Chain A
Amino acid sequence: MVRVAVTGLGPVSSIGIGVSAFAEGLRTGRSGISAITSFDPTGFPHQNAGEVQDFKPAEYLRQLDPSRWGRSSQFAASAARLALADSGLDLSQVDPSRAHAVIGTTSGESQVAEALTAQLVNGGFESQDPALLRQLSANRLANAVSEELGLQGESLTIATACSASNYAIGYGYDLLITGEADVVFTGGADSVCRWAHAGFFRLGALTGTACAPFDRDRSGILTGEGGAVLMLETFEHAQARGARIYAELLGYGLNCDANHPVSPDQASITECMRLAHRNAGIEPEEVDYISAHGTGTVANDLIEGRAILEVFGSNPPPVSSIKSMIGHTMGAACGFGAIAAVTAIDQGFLPPTMNWVNPDPELTGIDPVPNEARPARVRVAQNDGFAFGGNNAIVILGAVA
């Protein structure tokens, strides 16, 4: 039976770039939230987001010319480059046709779409820059990873909104399990953009300065961005090269609410958790930590918390949301959540839910690991992802037994 190993981590986040900085950020509860600079927020009531303000793609990219690729593609390719370096793999020793890129996203090259929109508002359709139009198609996120690392296997961009990187990690798992792959670079990327900021505000789902998941008075998300890539390989492949194995990818579950475009569905999310456990071959009581979707909206956290109580009983494992530190990074969110879960397993601590003040009386029993990281032995971790379109995706990770 093939087992899937996580052997490289590449976070490009607002609380740190690279696995050491990111893990330190999680451990110390760092905030990646700052005043928006990637667009002019004048006129918006809320003007903060989790931007990766010190991102300099040229420091990471060796093949891609940043001027030819949008910001999300740059995030994806940089994160993949970092994951490769972290893994210690010599890629020249791998058959490139068995090395794949699978990247999730919500809005692809959203900043490119906005720049083109500004051009057509100002000068009509014919004034759009053809070079920018060539950067628009969302498949370029995975293509950027393939191009940067010289991978000849599948180059797949999965656009299932805010659970997309769990879909991507799941598909990467399948590529290894079915013998199609030796190595898969998988995760997600997205960029902060003006239209999402406006849309979430109008949905009443955007908060001002601090995202406070599972807090009684939580008031919404902060938009965020970045790239999060995990390098996966089979145990056999990892062990043959003497690689450090962070964690084992045990399996995943997907389903669809088929109910409402934006409101989550508790019964469906409950079923998705059970599907993930079944596919991963674990029982709920084996889960030591849940890296929550935890957006910080009233509805999400209530539904997610209740689903957890339904599946795990009145005394569920600790549940924390790293969105309290980096904001909602959309298509990259589950990738960051997975890296946090792997870090919890590898380094023996639970990332905290920051900004938490008051327990929610409707979520009695949910332990959000408030405000300070907590030492813990994590053998199995669950990484939740839910999305517009009812696209639920949950990944299960385990310590190497």
Chain B
Amino acid sequence: MSEVVITGWSALTSAGIGADALAEHLAGVDHGSTRASSGVAVSQLYEEPLPSPTGHALADFNARAELGRKGTSSFDRTTALAVVCCQEALRSAALELDDSSRTRVGVALGTSLGSFKSTSDYSRETLVQDKPYLVNPVLFPNSVMNCAAGQVAIRFGLRGVNATIAGGTLAFLNAVRYACNTLDRGYADVMLAGAVEEYTPHRAWASHLTGATAAVAAGEAAGVFVLSRPAPIDMSTGNEARIMSVSTGFGPGGEEQAEQALAGCVQRAVRQAGIDPADIETVLTGEAEDSEDREYGPVARALGHRPRRVLAKRLLGECDAASGAVALAVFLAPRTSDSSVRSGLGLITGRGPDGAVGAAIVRG
């Protein structure tokens, strides 16, 4: 694939809505701290019990306040987070859309399984109602994984390629890879590539019971990046952020095979980006603890050195499908102080429980 330019982006994290809120939050974080942030109080968010009193939720998030009442009443949290994030990303890119350009703007949105809460609540109704079919037809689309991407298209009139990519912890890298292919092949001129994950009792409990949040709190986030091909003659100042390459793969059997596959992805990404691996100064992995080595180990071996590692989920929670998007947002967030983790070249990695792996090289 060829590199793509990031012409705008936004992220919704427990730090708030948008890049500035994230930057402000990061400026206040003690990056030397050995303790993972536990997030904010979440007990008021839902009537159902939660496994932990705190989490990385957007506690004050109100979709109607951001989007108005029209067309939003059926939105579940995943859809609302995605639509608001795309609104902010489009604003950031200052993209001017008309009827003809809208057919050339697409969406690639990563997820784990859409909204597990919407799906499970729908299924629940078939069990607890007097008749199993007494479900709400208006909410049926929310039980399908492509609901959020479809609503993004409706909201902003984006009629180009519209894809929902189910990738679990690899979802964002998968979505970026899909978006880059769409641009490379000329199927679209602009792609909104991102990922979303909601904080609900369903997800919090699933994370808790599977041990995914033993080291960090459960979280929610959306991150969306507006991508396009570089202009044929580069008129830019050279300052805009780029995704230089992304590579994903699979290590059958997991374990060592997955480590080799991840190293292979890093090597391919380096080759495609045409860079010297020594120039990568920052690695943002999906790991939760400094003692972990399941990503950083094979990455460092592939690069031949040990760049600074940033563990975004210690700052912003376990955001599953949105993890990679949060990592890129942390990398790109504007800096005002010397606490910067942003530097010239960054590497974002992911590794799933079954052997799925991926790596992207980004320039800040």
Interface residues of A (CB under 8 A from B): 41-45, 63, 96-97, 101, 105-110, 113-114, 116-118, 120-121, 124-126, 128, 130, 133-134, 136-141, 143, 146-147, 150-161, 167, 171, 174, 177-178, 193-196, 198-204, 254-262, 268, 271, 279, 387-391
Asked whether A171 lies within 8 Å of B181 as measured between CB atoms, the reply is yes
Shortest beta-carbon distance from B128 to chain A in Å? 6
Q: Which residue of B lies closest to A101 (CB)?
A: B250
Q: Please report whether the interface of chain A is mostly helix, strand, loop or mixed according to DSSP.
A: mixed
Asked whether B264 lies within 8 Å of A158 as measured between CB atoms, the reply is no
Asked whether B154 lies within 8 Å of A261 as measured between CB atoms, the reply is yes
Asked whether A389 lies within 8 Å of B253 as measured between CB atoms, the reply is no
Neighbour of A128 across the interface among B145, B206, B250, B354, CB < 8 A: B206
Asked whether B131 lies within 8 Å of A43 as measured between CB atoms, the reply is yes
Neighbour of B162 across the interface among A134, A141, A195, A256, CB < 8 A: A256
Shortest beta-carbon distance from A147 to chain B in Å? 5
What A residues does B201 contact at CB under 8 A? Answer: 125
Interface residues on B, range: 35 or more
**Mask: chain B, 74-116; 1 = CB below 8 Å from A; 0 = not:** 0000000000000000000000000000110011000111101
What B residues does A133 contact at CB under 8 A? Answer: 206, 209-210
Asked whether B205 lies within 8 Å of A256 as measured between CB atoms, the reply is no
What A residues does B281 contact at CB under 8 A? Answer: none
Asked whether A160 lies within 8 Å of B113 as measured between CB atoms, the reply is no
Asked whether B166 lies within 8 Å of A126 as measured between CB atoms, the reply is no
Q: Which residue of A lies closest to B154 (CB)?
A: A258
Neighbour of B261 across the interface among A152, A195, A255, CB < 8 A: A152
Asked whether A256 lies within 8 Å of B49 as measured between CB atoms, the reply is no
The answer for the CA separation of A44 and B21 in the assembled complex, in Å, is 49
Shortest beta-carbon distance from B298 to chain A in Å? 14
The answer for the CA separation of A136 and B250 in the assembled complex, in Å, is 19
Neighbour of A121 across the interface among B128, B144, B181, B354, CB < 8 A: B128
The answer for the CA separation of A252 and B179 in the assembled complex, in Å, is 16
The answer for the CA separation of A93 and B159 in the assembled complex, in Å, is 42
What A residues does B167 contact at CB under 8 A? Answer: 139, 156-157
Q: Which residue of B lies closest to A163 (CB)?
A: B146
Sample of 7 further A-B pairs with CB below 8 A, known A118-B127, A125-B201, A126-B51: A96-B252, A97-B264, A147-B355, A156-B178, A157-B165, A160-B164, A254-B161
Interface segment out of the listed B135-143, B304-312, B323-331, B334-342: B135-143
Interface residues of B (CB under 8 A from A): 1, 48-49, 51, 102-103, 106-107, 111-114, 116, 119-120, 122-128, 131-137, 140-141, 143-147, 149-151, 153-154, 156-168, 170-171, 174, 177-178, 181, 184-185, 187, 201-202, 205-206, 209-211, 248-253, 257, 261, 264, 352-356
What A residues does B184 contact at CB under 8 A? Answer: 178
What B residues does A157 contact at CB under 8 A? Answer: 165-167
The answer for the CA separation of A120 and B200 in the assembled complex, in Å, is 14
Q: Which residue of B lies closest to A69 (CB)?
A: B354
Asked whether A159 lies within 8 Å of B356 as measured between CB atoms, the reply is no
Asked whether A255 lies within 8 Å of B210 as measured between CB atoms, the reply is no
Asked whether B113 lies within 8 Å of A138 as measured between CB atoms, the reply is yes
The answer for the CA separation of A391 and B159 in the assembled complex, in Å, is 9
What B residues does A134 contact at CB under 8 A? Answer: 210, 353
Asked whether B249 lies within 8 Å of A153 as measured between CB atoms, the reply is yes
The answer for the CA separation of A155 and B252 in the assembled complex, in Å, is 11
What A residues does B257 contact at CB under 8 A? Answer: 152
Asked whether B166 lies within 8 Å of A389 as measured between CB atoms, the reply is no
Asked whether B133 lies within 8 Å of A159 as measured between CB atoms, the reply is no
Known: A44-B132, A128-B209. A138 touches B145 (CB 8 A): yes
Asked whether A107 lies within 8 Å of B133 as measured between CB atoms, the reply is no
The answer for the CA separation of A117 and B151 in the assembled complex, in Å, is 26
Shortest beta-carbon distance from B253 to chain A in Å? 7
